[in-house]
Structure formats: C-alpha cells, structure tokens
Amino acid sequence: MQRLVSERLKSDWQSLVQEQHAPHLNIITSLVEQHSAELARYFYANMLSDDDASTFLSHDEVKQRLSKSLQRWLINLFQVPENYDLDATLQQQVKVGEVHARIKLPIHLVLRGARCLKKHFAELLQEQALDPATQVACFQLYSDLIDIAMELMSLAYTTSTEAGVRSEEIYRMYSIAQNSAAERERQKAALLNWENKLMFQHTFGSESGQPSALRLCEFGLWFHHKGAHAFADYKETKLIEQAITEIDSRLGFVLSEQQSPTEKLEALRFIRSQTQAIQFHLDELFTRSSEMDHGRDVLTHLLNRKFLPTVMMRQIAHARAHNSRFAAVIIDLDYFKSINDEFGHEAGDSVLQQVSQLLMSACRSSDFVFRMGGEEFLVVLVDIEEEAAFQVAEKLRKLVAKEKIHLPENKTTKVTASLGLTLYSGHPDYQVILREADKALYQAKNNGRNSTVIYSKELN
C-alpha cells in the first residue's frame, strides 16, 4: 500500500476528516447510516439498467452480497471514531480497486457508480432542514472523500491490471513453449482420431445419429482453451477457428437421411479438406513457436500459481461468453508430512512428481493442472457440468489411491488424496471459486480423508 498511497494523498484525506469538518461529517454520517439501503438500491437500479454494468451485477448472489458491502463501505468511508485508523481506511480502497481489476470491471463503470452515489446523496441533502451553505459544504465534503477513494481505487486498479497483462503475456509464451513437439503430435493425433470416428459413423451408422462437433472433441477443447490463446498473434489461429466452424456446420449433412449419397460424399470431402488445412496451419503455428520455460513448477513441471489469475479469468470470460461452466478441483495429499518424516524429503519429492504425472495423464489436454504449493494441486476442468466433473474428480482420487509410488532405495508406498470440487456459478471473482473449492476440501478432510466433496452453500 505504501507504494500506492502517496503522502500527498494521505494528507489530503487526513485534512478532510479533521476536527474542523466534524459538524459536516456528522451530518453526512447520519444521513448515510439512515439511508444506506436506499443509496444501495438507487445505485444498483441505475447500474443494472446499463447493459455493460449488468453483466457484472446480474448474478443474484453478487447483488445480495454487494448491496450489503456497498452499505458498509459508505458508512465506513465517513465514520471517524475516536480510534480512527487512517491506514486501514486507505487500504480498504486499495483492496476494492484490486478486486475490480481481478474481475475486469471497467474503470468507467466504477466512476459511473460514484456519480450515482453523489447524485442521490445530493437529493437526500435537499430534503433535509439545512441552510444552503451547510448543504453545499456537506455535499462538497461527501464528494471529496468519494473522489479520493476513487483515485485510490483507480491507482490500485491500474497497477493490478498492468501486472495481469504482463503475467498473461508470459503465460501466452509459456503455453506456446511447453513441450511443443509432443503437444503438436498429440493434437494432430486427436484431430485424426475425430476424423476417423466420423468416417466410421458414416460407414457403419451411429446410435446418436449425429457425430460430436469438432469444437467439443479433445482437439477442439484444447484449441479453444489453450491453443487459441497461446497463438493469438498468428493469422493461422483465425484460419483454424474458421475451419472448425465450417466443419461443424457441415456435420448434419454426413448422417442425414434426407441427403443423397452424392451430397454426403461432397460434405465428407469438404470436411477432409478442412481437417487437412487445420493440420497444415497447426504445423505452421508450432514451427514458428520458440522454447520458453517460465511459470512452470521446477519439481513437477506443472503450472505454478503465477498463471492462476490469467487462466481463471480467461475461463470465467469464456463461460460468460458461451453460457458454459467449468470446475475447479483442489487436491490435497493425505498425511503427506508423515511420508517426509518416515522416508525423507527426497521421497516426498518423488511422491509429488509421480502424482503430478498421474494427474496430467488422466486429464484432458484442454484442462489445466497446477501445483499450488506443498502437497496441494488444482485442476481446472473446462466446459464441464457437475456430474461429469464429479466423475473426473473421483477418477483422479481412485487413481492416486491405487498407484504404487516408487521411492528411493527400491521402497514403495501408497498415498490417498482429499478433493474439494466446485463449479463456476456466475460469480465474476475467481477467488470466490477457489474459496468454495477450499471449503469443500476442508469438509473432505473432516469426512475422514480419501474422499471427494462437492461445494454447497451449507458449507459456508
């Protein structure tokens, strides 16, 4: 905070809450305390009528909690008790600005909200039996404090956003670099596998009557959640996106009974030409990429926490844009300390490495696997619903429990894991998702470990 809050800003705030302003500050505080709910209602009524702002406020849980938070923020902003903590008040404004940056709330919407609060407070002042000079002085003081709060929030917002942009660019470069040769072959194989399944369905028929869309197969998921971001600057990325769209639009022709054999064959030839084009563009993308190894956990080679904000915010943006869901699974190895105590830290490292490989091999290439620190991992499952996410989590838990872990000196051991699972429910702040998964993990530990718990509001 010291870097953000200059001495001048601190001095300006201090001068506004000095004893000489106490009479006007008391009037403001009294009015805000009496009408905090009304101010909050006015604020949200105006913001929800704005298309841009409503995107961030339409979630019921957010509205309910933010209404109370806004009321508390207003009251705390103008209250100056005997034990007034100026630094804590300033830090609160910084924290709010950082949250706004984290959920990518545009700064112009924050300033618009401040304008709403000023406008309605002016209306409330006019209803009071106060002389004009007092009304003007109160409104000026109210506005000045809100303006300094906005200045602090904007400063924190800009600083956090710049850090996020740097992290996102580093992550983009890392995504390109991580074992690109193996990833290239893996995705080409996934694309070929989808094409072979389509040909098989066309030849022998399909129980479902419709082949799965390319965008929803392993290659499609990888491309939309990782590849498109890693190669965002290349023209081939757009060409692959267009080819996927074209292919999916023609799938109906392949198995439709209403189409003639000639039309079906023409559709298959078109799809074949597009998949070949995708393979060509994919080769071009990987050929033009360069090796980079930042942001990887040294021990396990998983993603580390550095890219967590970037990945989570991108998944939230994707879920909002496509009306989809994703899941977060926190995995914590049970009684890990006892392994270090009994076999030594080298053995503990070996356990972490083998469990990491197990998690990576069991997840889709489109999913994200992080080492959060110590013996804790995070898996982000993209484009998934609750039942399927729970099945994946249970599969991971059982695989860990079943695996024979090889230790130094030809020793072996077994470990179990507790898992906390939550699904994106519309909240714009990824920290809320992580807290939910953490609460579910805590419950799994309380249940006796080696179990998976899905987050519910009852765990709050």
Whether 296 is covered by a domain: the verdict is no
CATH number at residue 447: 3.30.70.270
Paired tokens of 254: 């392949």
Name the packing angle between helices 7-16 and 86-102 (round to 10°).
120
Paired tokens of 143: 């506005």
Of 157, 173, 189, the position where a domain reaches its end is 173
Distances, alpha carbon 385 to alpha carbons 58, 125, 319, 327, 360, in Å:
21, 50, 12, 8, 20
- 3-state SS class at 423: strand
Residue with tokens 């757009």: 238
Whether 193 is covered by a domain: the verdict is yes
Whether 299 is covered by a domain: the verdict is no
Residues 148, 204 within the same domain: no
Q: Which domain holds residue 144?
A: 7-173
Query: How many domains does the chain divide into?
Result: 3
CATH number at residue 134: 1.10.490.10
Q: Degrees (nearest 5) of the Cα angle 223, 229, 235?
A: 85
Whether 297 is covered by a domain: the verdict is no
Residues 159, 41 within the same domain: yes
pTM reported for the whole predicted model: 0.56
Each residue's pLDDT expressed in tens, for the chain with a length of 460 residues: 445 667 888 888 888 888 888 899 999 999 999 999 999 888 888 887 877 777 777 656 556 678 888 899 999 999 888 788 888 888 899 888 888 878 878 888 888 999 999 999 999 999 999 999 999 999 999 999 999 999 888 888 777 765 665 566 556 556 555 567 678 888 888 898 888 888 877 776 655 555 678 998 989 998 988 888 777 767 889 999 999 999 998 887 776 677 788 888 888 889 999 999 999 999 888 876 643 445 578 788 898 887 899 899 989 989 998 999 999 999 999 999 999 999 998 899 999 999 999 999 999 888 999 999 899 999 999 999 999 999 999 999 999 999 999 998 889 999 999 999 999 999 989 999 999 999 999 999 999 999 999 999 888 7
Residues 88, 164 within the same domain: yes
Residues 235, 354 within the same domain: no
Whether 147 is covered by a domain: the verdict is yes
Torsion of CA 428, 431, 437, 440, to 10 degrees: -100
Residues 429, 350 within the same domain: yes
Whether 245 is covered by a domain: the verdict is yes
Whether 160 is covered by a domain: the verdict is yes
Of 129, 156, 173, the position where a domain reaches its end is 173
b/e map 193-213, b = 16+ CB within 10 Å: ebbeebeebbeeeeeeeebbe
The CA distance from 231 to 283, in Å, is 12
